[in-house]
Amino acid sequence: MNSAAVVTVTLNPALDKTVTVEGFTTGSLNRVQEVRLDPGGKGINVARVLNNFGVSVLATGFIAGMQGKLLLKALEDEGITTAFVSVPGETRTNLKVVDLATRQTTEINEPGFVVDSARMQTFYQLLDSVLEQTAYLILGGSLPQGAAADTYRELISRAKAKGVKVVLDADGEALRAGLAAQPFAVKPNLAELENLLGRSLQDTEAIIAAGRQLLEQGVELAVISRGSKGAVVLNREEVIVTEPFPIVPQSTVGAGDTMVAALVYALLQQKPLAETAAWATAAGTIAASKAGTQVCTREEVEANLARVKVINWR
């Protein structure tokens, strides 16, 4: 099987159904103004952005049912190479309710299908075969039912054995277990990092200190996203703090995944850390200004790079 510069793994993909309402009210009738259906799941979102940026990318993971066929057809229509393992059941639909009045997004995510150990082994073999000439492996999102909590640790170990750098974007126990295998980079958002450490991070200095804890665990690059406040990006030599430009938010779904894609694009281009941080922040900001999980273009990011405030913290 042909390899790619970047391989993205989405073990629990979804069709993202985004509905737009004016004044969302629980317990009563809400009339939908707009509906979007997009391929979803963190790794798939990253693959779509990288493909848009002109990067050779392969999307892999598990897939099931008629919804899965729709998802694969959508990726094929975008020109994205895929290699998914089919499993019984049905690919989930994740509902995103965007309230135009409050600019808030309510997410209702289904659990998805169940995988067994035999199909996990099939996926491990598939991944081994596609990583031969890969520079970066992107792991993101929730694990499917039936997958072991340390699945990401296993995937990271396999990738590192082949000299592939891993970027991990996960939450909870999946993030904790993945960190044990020392991925190259991690991209938690602030809430995920606070959850991991079990404490509140009230200011930039506290976030930087928490980022350094990640580096002490063997991570080489930490990107901590702070939503509308930007990001903290650090390696062992530098700390960069970014502040985004103002936008009218449409949907924050996929903004973090867009940051990961831009991060990897900048790493492939061997850009310095400050510029890499600006790329990630600009891309995530643009994504948040779009409805549904629409992907941004490289040209849009380049046009807005100078609007990102980049602070060399030390």
**Residue 2 half-sphere exposure toward CB, CA atoms < 13 A:** 9
In the annotation, is 257 catalytic? yes
A 10 A CB-CB count for 209 gives 12
Q: Which residues of the chain register pLDDT less than 50?
A: none
pLDDT at 23: 93
pLDDT at 36: 86
pLDDT at 296: 84
Distance of alpha carbon 116 from alpha carbon 252, whole angstroms = 33
Taking each continuous run of H as one helix and of E as one strand, the counts in the chain are 10, 14
pTM: 0.92
187 backbone φψ class: left, alpha, beta (φ>0; ψ -120 to 50): beta
Residue where the block lists tokens 């980049």:
310
DSSP string, 220-264: SEEEEE-GGG-EEEE-SS-EEEEEPPP---S--TTHHHHHHHHHH
The DSSP bridge partners found for residue 59 are: 8, 82
The DSSP bridge partners found for residue 141 are: none
Residue 271 has phi, psi (to 5 degrees) of: -75, 150
Selected catalytic residue, list 16, 150, 169, 257:
257
CA-based nearest residue to 105, from 241, 216, 5, 255? 255
pLDDT at 293: 61
pLDDT at 169: 95
Q: Evaluate whether 310 touches 245 at the Cβ level (below 8 Å).
A: no
- Beginning with the edge strand found earlier in the chain, give each strand of the sheet holding 104-109 in spatial order: 34-40, 14-21, 92-99, 104-109
- For 204-216, what is each residue's pLDDT tens digit? 999 999 999 999 9
Rounded to 10°, the helix 190-197/204-216 angle is 60
Q: Evaluate whether 187 touches 169 at the Cβ level (below 8 Å).
A: yes
- To 5 degrees, how large is the angle CA 229–CA 11–CA 70? 95
The beta strands (E) that lie in 120-191 are given as: 136-140, 165-169, 185-186
